[in-house]
Amino acid sequence: MAGKREKAEEIVSKLRQVEILQGQGATIAEAVRQIGVTQQTFYRWRKLYGGMQRSQLARLKELEKENQR
């Protein structure tokens, strides 16, 4: 059974939510559970998109499209 595929903007938003929850004292496991993903997914997302802002994400997508051409 395939899961829902998140858009990159949603991923960045959810990573930010985890950071906020951790700042409030929640553990990573609790924070990840609250946003509705597994820890493995969270760490994969953090590896790919960690520390990115929305403007940086737009630039990354633009460069990926350019490289495909």
32: phi then psi, degrees, rounded to nearest 5: -65, -40
Give burial (CB, 10 Å; 0-12/13-18/19+) of 8. Answer: middle
What is residue 2's predicted lDDT score, i.e. its pLDDT?
59
What is residue 39's predicted lDDT score, i.e. its pLDDT?
94
Cα–Cα separations (whole angstroms), residue 22 to 2, 18, 29, 42, 57: 29, 6, 10, 13, 23
pTM for this one? 0.74
**Ordered per-residue pLDDT tens for the chain, 69 residues:** 556 788 888 888 899 999 999 999 999 999 999 999 999 999 999 998 877 777 787 788 888 888 888
What is residue 25's predicted lDDT score, i.e. its pLDDT?
94
